[in-house]
Amino acid sequence: MENYDLVVIGGGPGGYVAAIRAAQLKKKVALIEKEHLGGICLNWGCIPTKALLKSAELFQTIKHAENYGIKVEKYDFDIQKIVQRSRDISAKLTGGVESLLKKNKVTVINGVASLGMNKLVNVDYQGNKTQIKAENIIIATGARPRILPGFEPDTKQIWTSKEAMTPQSLPKSMIIVGSGAIGIEFASFYNALGTEVTVIEAQSGILPAEDQEISTMARKIFEKKGIKIHTNVKLLKHTKNSDNVEIEMEIEGKLHKMQSEILLIAAGIIGNIESLNLEKTRVIIERNHIVTDQFMQTAEPGIYAIGDVAGAPWLAHKASHEGIIVAEKIAGLKPHPINKLNIPGCTYSSPQLASVGLTEQQALKSNYQLKIGRFPFMANGKALVGGENEGMIKTIFDAKTGELLGAHLIGAEVTELIQGYVIAKTMEGTELDLINSIFPHPTLSEMMPESVMQAYARSIHI
C-alpha cells in the first residue's frame, strides 16, 4: 500500500492547484480524478462557456460593423464550429494541467475515491479496486447542476449547462430557469446568435447576488437586446410535446403558460459528496455541502474540503486560492485565511458584470454610513471608441474611514477591471489611494478613480 503525505480527491481548479502547491513544498502527493483533469471549470464550465461567448461577441461586432465604418455584405455562423472551438480550447488546457502535475511529480490516479477508516482512501477504477494511505486528505470533488423535482433533464428538450455548451443546432426558442451567472451567460450567448430567449427567476430581480442598482440596470440592457425576463416566478409543471416544452408557472398569483423548443435548467448547484463515504467520518454536511473552518479544515482532523463542494461562493479562483492555503497549512506555513468579501465575482454576459465586497444593501444593513460614487461608460472616451457606451462603475465607501467597502461594475471588460478594486480592498486601501493612483489615458480603467472622486464630490468628467 502506497503512503502519501497528501491525497487530493478531485482534479479541478481547486484540487490540481492544491496538489501542485503541496508538491512544491516537498510533500508526496497523489491526486485522484474520476473523469477529466481540470474539472468542471476547464471542461464544462468557465473556459468553454467563455469561448462560446467570445464567438457570439465577435458575431455581434461583425453584425454591427457599419457602426465602425466597415462594410460587411455577408456574414453567418456555424454553430458546430463554434462548439468545436470551445471543446478544442478545453482539451488544450486539460493537457496543460496534466503536464503541470507530471512536472511537479504528483501521482495521478484515475478512479472514484471513497474514504475508509484511519485515513485509507479506496479507489475504484472500472471495477479494479485499490487502497492508498494518506496523512492528509483534501476533498475537491466540485458540484453539479441542481435538478428541480419534476424537471429532470432528458438531454433533448430539457437541458443542463452541459447540453447548452454542446448544441448540434441552434434552437429557435429557449426558456432558461435561473438568472444567476450561469443562466445569464447562456441567455447572452443564445440571444446573440438569434434564439428567442426567456429567463424566469423565482426572486424579485435577476442576478440576485449583485448590487440591486446594477442588476436593475442589467435587466434593462438585456431586455433592450430582446431577452424576455420574468421575476417572482413559481415554476409549477411542464409538458413535453413533439417539438416543444410547455411550462406552467405562477407570476404574482396569476397562472401563465409558455412554450419553447428547449428548457434550460440553471437553478444553482449541489456538492458532489455521495460517493465519498463521509458518514463514517465526523465531517459535517449542510445543504449538500461540506462545512469547514477558515482554513478549510472539516470536523474530521486531517480532512479538508475546498471549492464548490465546500459551499459558496462557487468560483474557480476561490477554489484555487483555498487549495494553496490548505497545502501551505499542511506544510507548516502560516497562510492567511480567505476573506470572502475580497473574492471577486464575474459574469461574462453582454454586458459583463463584476463585483467585490458589500453591495449597497448589505452595507446599509451593517449600519455603515456610506459615500457612493458612480461613473457611466458613456462619459469615457475609450468606451465610446469601442462602441460600448452602456454601463457604470459604482463604488461604496465607509464615510467615516474612507475604507472601500464594495465595487460593482457593469459594462465592457469589467471582468478585467475588477482586479484593481480587489487589490485595493485586499490592501485595505482608502479613497485617497485610488484617487492618487494615476490611471493611463485613454482607457476604460480611467473610470475607476472617476467613480471614487464622484463619491467624494471631486468629479472632473461628469
For residue 445, pLDDT beyond 90: yes
The last residue of a domain, from among 237, 266, 295 = 266
Q: Is position 290 within any domain?
A: yes
pTM for the model: 0.95
The last residue of a domain, from among 223, 248, 266 = 266
84 lies in the same domain as 138? yes
Which pLDDT value is given to residue 118?
85
Q: Is position 151 within any domain?
A: no
For residue 44, pLDDT beyond 90: no
Grid cell, residue 196, equals 428567442
Q: Is position 346 within any domain?
A: no
Q: Is position 382 within any domain?
A: yes
372 lies in the same domain as 392? yes
For residue 280, pLDDT beyond 90: no
136 lies in the same domain as 165? no
Q: At what angle do helices 79-103 and 15-24 cross, to 10 degrees?
A: 20
Tally of domains in the chain = 3
Which pLDDT value is given to residue 43?
86
140 lies in the same domain as 202? no
The last residue of a domain, from among 278, 311, 340 = 340
93 and 225 in contact (C-beta within 8 Å)? no
Find the mean pLDDT for residues 380-406.
97
For residue 39, pLDDT beyond 90: no
282 lies in the same domain as 250? no
For residue 45, pLDDT beyond 90: no
Q: CA-based angle 278:283:284, to the nearest 5? A: 110
259 is in which domain, residue-wise? 158-266
Q: CA-based angle 326:321:315, to the nearest 5? A: 125
240 lies in the same domain as 113? no
Q: Is position 152 within any domain?
A: no
247 lies in the same domain as 277? no
Q: Is position 368 within any domain?
A: yes
259 lies in the same domain as 280? no
Instruction: Report how far residue 229's alpha carbon sits from residue 109's, in angstroms, rounded to the nearest whole number.
Output: 45
Catalytic residue numbers read: 441
Top mean pLDDT of 21-25, 154-158, 238-242 is at 21-25
141 lies in the same domain as 26? yes
For residue 127, pLDDT beyond 90: no
Q: CA-based angle 262:268:271, to the nearest 5? A: 125
Top mean pLDDT of 31-40, 45-54, 369-378 is at 369-378
Q: Is position 411 within any domain?
A: yes
256 lies in the same domain as 286? no
259 lies in the same domain as 277? no
Instruction: Report how far residue 126's alpha carbon sits from residue 121's, in angstroms, rounded to the nearest whole number.
Output: 16
Which pLDDT value is given to residue 89?
95
- Average model confidence (pLDDT) across the chain: 95
Which pLDDT value is given to residue 35?
87
175 and 265 in contact (C-beta within 8 Å)? no
302 lies in the same domain as 250? no
Find the mean pLDDT for residues 18-38.
96
Instruction: Report how far residue 197's alpha carbon sits from residue 53's, in angstroms, rounded to the nearest whole number.
Output: 15
Find the mean pLDDT for residues 104-108.
97
Q: Is position 427 within any domain?
A: yes
Whichever domain contains 404, its CATH number is 3.30.390.30
Whichever domain contains 71, its CATH number is 3.50.50.60
Find the mean pLDDT for residues 316-325.
97
